[in-house]
Structure 1
Amino acid sequence: MASDTQRSDVASNANRLPSWLDGSLLTLVVGSSLVVLCGTLVQVSFGAFSMSIGQAWSAVFDPVVWSNPYVLLKFFFGEGIAETLATTFGLSVASVDLTKETLIVWNIRLPRVVVGALVGMNLAVSGAIFQAVTRNELASPYILGVSSGAGLAILLTLVVFSGFASFLPIFAALGGTVAFVIVYAIAWKNGTSPVRLVLAGVIVSTVFSSLQTAMYLLASDIGVVQSAIAWTTGSLTGTDWEQVRMILPWTLFVTVPLSIVASRQLNVLLLGEKTAKALGMSVERVRFALSGVAILAASAAISVAGIVGFVGLIVPHVVRNIVGSDYKRLVIGCLFAGPALMVAADVGARLALNPTQIPVGIVTGLVGGPYFLYLMRKKQQLGEL
């Protein structure tokens, strides 16, 4: 009798699991997490300073770091905020001695992995939202001109208004918003269509890319020019905790919560405008609100890594093929698959021509181009979802 009761309880608990949490999503989450873990292992183990894999991972799990909250707070939030938080919660602010290996891993190698994961997360979710908002499977921040608009705003900040470099995410968001509004205005003719949106995105991207090239002529400092080139090709080289602090708040308080909360509205938009209106949705308001979330997510990623193409296009497609079109599962899948692609691509960018490092945007482009051609060959009707 007790055994029957236990089996009944187990079955009851299984029935309480959310309907969207199925085996395919769990497989994707676990597989993506393993890719990120393996990529992290590679990234922290190789570099100009030679150390064994054992030394690298001993540095990652250094008890001096993990047993001292103030040290972790300094890495993630900076010394000023860390000291304020430590004082508020009564934590010790005494300095600690870290080994050379720990300093190298935590100050140079680990931040690059964290930035890559956050960039992949934001770009993947941004692409997924844009594809639902436009009902166009070709939509992505890169193709719709958002990336070019954000990139142009960043170059203007670096070249002309260098004193405002700390506000890069805000300027990137403004540039991406302007670009998307222009694309939507060009594509609008008693409504929009997938083909017009893509064509308008190509036009705006081309114009903004030309303006980016023109910005190089205004930069007299060769260092600024090199920095600008890194932004336009997409690179994680030289990223540190400062970039983590720039993108982390946008990811935690904008991208993740708002995309999950909006999954129901995204599912309704996929049904078409007439059906959405019949269900009581204010389509245009919801569409622009969700586009704002996608723009903020893409702009946050571009502000720390530059223009990384095809991530917002590839990841939603791959996740959709695995977990289906329900946006609750799709968004959560993108939150894990996006980091996996970016971390893996950055490993390739770092080791492909070792010791020379190539921009990660080149690797994603080399992967995304063939995949885009594969989609064109596989589907007879490519465009509207």
Structure 2
Amino acid sequence: MAGEAGKAGGPVHEVESALSWIDTSLLTVIAASTAVVVLSGLVQVSFGTFTMSITTAWASVFDPLVWTNPQVLLRLFLGEGFGNAVASALGISTAAVDLPKETLIVWQIRMPRVLVGVIVGANLAVSGAVFQAVTRNELASPFILGVSSGAGLAILLTLIVFSGLTTLLPLIAAGGGAVAFLLVYAIAWKGGTNPVRLVLAGVIVSTVFGSLQTGLFFFADDLGVVQSAIAWTTGSLTGVDWEQVRMGLPWTLVAVPLTLVGARQLNVLLLGERTARSLGMSVERVRFALSAVAVLAAGTAIAVAGIVGFVGLIVPHMVRQLVGSDYKRLVVASVFAGPALVTLADVGARLALSPAQLPVGIVTGLIGGPYFLYLMRKQDGLGDL
């Protein structure tokens, strides 16, 4: 009987052990962040050039015609052709659904802005969390380390010179970000790196790449391309549509799980290189592999919304104060808190000077600049974790 009880309790005990890292503080962050995203999303869908009441807008979000017809959601998330193909393969009807005008406006035009905000926030927060671990620097983020500038330069080159490659923007942005990060690392390397040199090297690379971005404007003949490029450099969710959702979501579903898989390695890196090596870790190989994931996440965010600064700095730091430094909890919390910050900032960007709309990157910059100064003044070692 005791043996049978032990066998019966074995799987249950294993499940409990696997989930032991989930605690009240993490669940609180997830619940609060989800509430912020939902409320911010409901505010976003309530405003636009087409006037409708808040009640009508919110009812359109939860319209049963959308939620009871999977083919509608499949077409939105996967595109018309691929969505119909998947629906057919799953035995779902591909018949067109006649949606009310208000529901079409909310789902076709307004909802993508909320979803892109979620994608951008999750990717930048995860990217910042990884960079802070691999550099052991609390001030590290894609923006501070020059990754955002490198990705932005790659995107501008694509828009202005190689416009036929726009479908590959996330990969192109990741490539530009990787080049920038390698340059920062090379400049900061002197028998090793330290937080001061990394931050200063990031400032140098960001300045140079920012100047190159500005210089590219002079080679653009189309004013529309210049305006689009300027919007990209400031970070904006204005005018995004389902194309950006379809572009960013697959890479997000790659970067976030890979970061969770690497959470244990990130925890070990925080212990220092000597300790990590004593535990059998190939430090540089792991560091660059995880950095590649962080660059991909940052590149994805920049490809769909431009350079939204300081999210990767603010979110991991604030989350660390709430859930601790265990990277399994930190990454999960960042995935929820990042979208909360971006969607909330986008609401502020939209309503601050209504009917004019600020780029969301300006709002996050206004928040992140003083916060960065606070962290610098707080840390005697300029960012050591």
TM range (shorter): over 0.9
Q: Which runs of 5+ in 2 are unaligned?
A: 1-11
Q: TM-score, length-normalised on structure 1?
A: 0.95
How far does the alpha carbon of each residue in 1:168-220 deviate from its partner, in whole angstroms, 9 at most, with x for none? 11111111111111111111111111111111111111000000000000011
* CA distance, structure 2, for counterparts of residue 14 and residue 269 of structure 1: 27
Aligned residue in 1 for 2:302: 302
Aligned residue in 2 for 1:24: 25
**AA partner of residue 289 (structure 1):** A
Q: Kindly state the Cα deviation for residue 381 of structure 1 after the two structures are TM-superposed.
A: 3.4
Aligned residue in 2 for 1:214: 215
RMSD of aligned residue pairs (Cα, Å) = 1.6
* CA distance, structure 2, for counterparts of residue 97 and residue 23 of structure 1: 44
Q: Kindly state the Cα deviation for residue 123 of structure 1 after the two structures are TM-superposed.
A: 0.1
**AA partner of residue 261 (structure 2):** V
Aligned residue in 1 for 2:257: 257
Aligned residue in 2 for 1:337: 337
* CA distance, structure 1, for counterparts of residue 86 and residue 226 of structure 2: 38
Aligned residue in 1 for 2:84: 83
How far does the alpha carbon of each residue in 1:210-265 deviate from its partner, in whole angstroms, 9 at most, with x for none? 0000000001111111000000000000011100000000011x222111110000
* CA distance, structure 2, for counterparts of residue 321 and residue 232 of structure 1: 31
| Paired residue secondary structure (2:86) | helix
* CA distance, structure 2, for counterparts of residue 280 and residue 164 of structure 1: 42
* CA distance, structure 2, for counterparts of residue 209 and residue 40 of structure 1: 32
Q: Kindly state the Cα deviation for residue 380 of structure 1 after the two structures are TM-superposed.
A: 3.3
**AA partner of residue 375 (structure 2):** L
* CA distance, structure 2, for counterparts of residue 14 and residue 80 of structure 1: 41
Aligned residue in 2 for 1:53: 54
Of 50-59 and 105-114, deviating more is 50-59
Aligned residue in 2 for 1:109: 110
* CA distance, structure 2, for counterparts of residue 302 and residue 138 of structure 1: 20
Q: Kindly state the Cα deviation for residue 17 of structure 1 after the two structures are TM-superposed.
A: 7.2
* CA distance, structure 2, for counterparts of residue 102 and residue 31 of structure 1: 27
**AA partner of residue 152 (structure 1):** L
Of 281-290 and 78-87, deviating more is 78-87
How far does the alpha carbon of each residue in 1:301-323 deviate from its partner, in whole angstroms, 9 at most, with x for none? 00000000000000000000111
| Matches for 1:221-236 after TM superposition, within 5 Å | 221-236=222-237
Question: Do structure 1's residue 133 and structure 2's residue 134 form an aligned pair?
Answer: yes
* CA distance, structure 1, for counterparts of residue 339 and residue 216 of structure 2: 31
Q: Kindly state the Cα deviation for residue 382 of structure 1 after the two structures are TM-superposed.
A: 2.8
Q: Would you say the 8 A contact 2:376–2:383 is kept in 1? A: no
Question: Do structure 1's residue 44 and structure 2's residue 45 form an aligned pair?
Answer: yes
* CA distance, structure 2, for counterparts of residue 21 and residue 316 of structure 1: 17
* CA distance, structure 2, for counterparts of residue 209 and residue 111 of structure 1: 29
| Matches for 1:161-240 after TM superposition, within 5 Å | 161-240=162-241
| Matches for 1:275-354 after TM superposition, within 5 Å | 275-354=275-354
Q: Would you say the 8 A contact 2:375–2:383 is kept in 1? A: no
C-alpha distance 189-356 of structure 1, shift in aligned 2 (>3 A): same
**AA partner of residue 163 (structure 1):** G
Q: Kindly state the Cα deviation for residue 132 of structure 1 after the two structures are TM-superposed.
A: 0.3
C-alpha distance 246-49 of structure 1, shift in aligned 2 (>3 A): same
Of 91-100 and 238-247, deviating more is 91-100
Q: TM-score, length-normalised on structure 2?
A: 0.95
* CA distance, structure 2, for counterparts of residue 68 and residue 315 of structure 1: 36
Q: Kindly state the Cα deviation for residue 383 of structure 1 after the two structures are TM-superposed.
A: 1.6
Identity %: 72
Q: Which runs of 5+ in 1 are unaligned?
A: 1-10
* CA distance, structure 1, for counterparts of residue 118 and residue 93 of structure 2: 30
* CA distance, structure 2, for counterparts of residue 320 and residue 129 of structure 1: 13
**AA partner of residue 111 (structure 1):** P
* CA distance, structure 1, for counterparts of residue 327 and residue 165 of structure 2: 37
**AA partner of residue 130 (structure 1):** F
Q: Kindly state the Cα deviation for residue 151 of structure 1 after the two structures are TM-superposed.
A: 0.2
**AA partner of residue 262 (structure 1):** G
* CA distance, structure 1, for counterparts of residue 136 and residue 18 of structure 2: 30
C-alpha distance 14-87 of structure 1, shift in aligned 2 (>3 A): closer
How far does the alpha carbon of each residue in 1:70-118 deviate from its partner, in whole angstroms, 9 at most, with x for none? 1110000000101111221222111121111001100111110000011
* CA distance, structure 1, for counterparts of residue 160 and residue 18 of structure 2: 52
| Paired residue secondary structure (1:189) | coil
Q: Kindly state the Cα deviation for residue 18 of structure 1 after the two structures are TM-superposed.
A: 2.4
* CA distance, structure 2, for counterparts of residue 31 and residue 14 of structure 1: 26
| Matches for 1:136-151 after TM superposition, within 5 Å | 136-151=137-152
